[in-house]
Amino acid sequence: MSDGDASLRARIITISQALDAAGLVPNKSGNVSSRSAGGFLITPAGRPYRDLVPGDIVELPVCGEPSASGPRPSSEWRMHAAIYAGRSDATAIVHTHSPRATALACAGRGIPPFHYMIALAGGEVRCTSYATFGTAELAQSALRGLEGRRAVLLGNHGVITIGSSLDEAHAVAVEVENLAGEYLAMLSAGLEPRLLDDEEMARVAGKFADYGRLKR
């Protein structure tokens, strides 16, 4: 294992444990990955995040099947592979079952552009139709939902975010959960959100680029 490979594996573990500590991946749900020299590195199936060590992180080719030996990759490895194959701008992927965003996903409801911070996700966060976890159908549905976006809600399932780095994918996942909570609060209070138009969202995205919040 090279120094660079070991460092990337350690960073994946750090992000995974941060998500766990924040309550965004309850009961070992979710997964984290990053592109690597051999394809991509992804968290394993069924291991508590607190117990992960670098050797548990699984390397997979972007196009191909997992090895029959060694740690088993997350059951959602197909979704990560499809996104890396279809989105050259995705260097890292975070998948969570964060409570508020998942509640919206289970209602088949996306997050509209009611707050300018949704620009971190690239605009309105769509919600896909339901597909069984771990399937090629879910992988392709997620990829379609991410078109022009950095986040998508997976119907009756959870959230997936992408970024130019692990930190960016993590930051988008955290912000989507914040936005979901704010949106649910408005809905529960019977309030109708005032939405920002495309022109304003484009203006915000430009300002974020200047602030360094978003990388183009």
Catalytic site residues?
76
How far apart (Å, rounded) are the C-alpha atoms in residues 125 and 146? 9
The residues, any chain, with a CB within 8 Å of residue 41's CB and separated by 6 or more, are 5, 8, 9, 12, 33, 34, 57, 58, 59, 60
Instruction: Name the CA dihedral angle for 185, 124, 87, 140, rounded to a multiple of 10 degrees.
Output: 80
Radius of gyration of the chain (CA): 17
Sheet of strand 151-154: strand arrangement: 58-60, 39-42, 31-36, 92-96, 158-163, 151-154
